[in-house]
Amino acid sequence: MRDVHYAIGGREIFRGLDLTVRRGRITAIMGPSGGGKTTLLKLITGQILADRGSVRVFGEEVATLGHRALYALRQRLGLLFQNGALLTDMDVFDNVAFPVREHSDLPEALIRKLVLLKLQAVGLRGAAHLLPGELSGGMARRIALARAIVMDPEVLMYDEPFVGLDPISLGVILRLIKQMNTALGITSIVVSHDVQELATIADDSYLLLDGRIAAAGSPAELRASEAPAVRQFMTGSAEGPVAFNYPAPDYLGQLLAEGDE
């Protein structure tokens, strides 16, 4: 991504974003909530197009791709949604089998083996017959992970994979991300604000602040950074150059103002 600008409803999300994801590595993209992390993934998958600048995936400029070429590109990508985004009218097995059935003519017996293999990889082979509504949040995310890897993508993107997970599920997801990367050689992009978790698995990290990359490097380098904004984010402090409070009138003045509802 080179000099990417993107605004929505007059609000600038990206102001000259530069970012490179290296093949075969785990890249962490950190930043505060509402900082455009999910928007970044949408730019990569071509769901939205940048107002200015260049987004290249596998050397192809996303903005210039036609419908067919874009869909061909997406077949090489996988995205794990925050809520799983499983299709609610089919069971877990059919959800994982869905992309295979849509994109190949493989015999059903082979699809069955493939799906069971992927479900086993996320430890949920026994849940194949359940409906998405019967799964917990963590389970749904693991099923979605199985679905995302069933077509063996070259790049796998994770959108806030750690939010709302209990410690066991969290550990499992972390291990799975690492395994996908080491065992299958999948390039991984993990978007999250969980600094500690990311630091244990990421090869490269980017800190996204104010529409730009504020810092880049290994997780250790980011932690050692002296830049005030980076320090504030890594240590989780409300005080610092990154505004925590939404802009508001004077606090005392507003409390004491008469007739204010």
Partner 1 sequence: MSKSVRGSYLLEGLRRLGSVALFLLQLLGQSLPALARPGLLVKQIYNAGARSLIIIMLSGLFVGMVLGLQGYDLLQRFGSEQALGTAAALGLLRELAPVITALLFAGRAGTALTSEIGLMRATDQLTAMEIMAVDPLRYVAAPRFLGGVIAMPLLTAIFSVIGLYGAQLVGVQLMGVDKGVFWSQTQGSVALHDVSEGLVKSVVFGFACSLIAVHEGYHAEPTAEGVGLATTRTVVASSVLILLLDYVLTAAFL
CA dist 128 and 64 (Å) reads 40
Does the footprint of partner 1 cover residue 226 (CB under 8 A)?
no
CB proximity list for 119: less than 8 A, separation 6 or greater: 92, 93, 96, 125, 127, 128, 143, 146
Nearest approach, Cβ of 74 to partner 1 (angstroms)? 4
Does 8 bind partner 1 (CB under 8 A)? Our answer is: no
Say if residue 36 is exposed, middle or buried (CB neighbours under 10 Å; 0-12, 13-18, 19+). buried
Tell me which amino acid residue 163 is: V
Report residue 17 as tokens: 């974003």
Quick note: the x/- pattern for partner 1 over 144-163, rule CB under 8 A, is ---x---x------------
Task: Output the smallest distance, CB 122 to partner 1, in A.
Answer: 17
Tell whether residue 86 is a contact of partner 1 (CB under 8 A). Answer: yes
Piece in contact with partner 1 (CB under 8 A), picked from 73-81, 163-171, 201-209, 220-228: 73-81
Task: Check binding of 87 to partner 1 (CB under 8 A).
Answer: yes
Rounded to an integer, what distance in angstroms lies between the CA atom of residue 121 and that of residue 194?
A: 24
Residue from 103, 113, 129, 175 binding partner 1 (CB under 8 A): 103
Residue 64 binds partner 1 (CB under 8 A)? no
Q: Which stretches within the chain are classed as H helix?
A: 37-45, 67-74, 92-103, 108-121, 137-149, 167-184, 195-201, 219-223, 228-235, 251-256
Instruction: Please select the residue that binds partner 1; options are 65, 85, 116, 227, rule is CB under 8 A.
Output: 85
Contact between 88 and partner 1 per CB under 8 A: yes
Instruction: Report how far residue 39's alpha carbon sits from residue 136's, in angstroms, rounded to the nearest whole number.
Output: 26
Under the rule (CB under 8 A), what is the footprint of partner 1? 45, 47, 71-72, 74-75, 77-79, 81, 83, 85-88, 98-99, 102-103, 147, 151
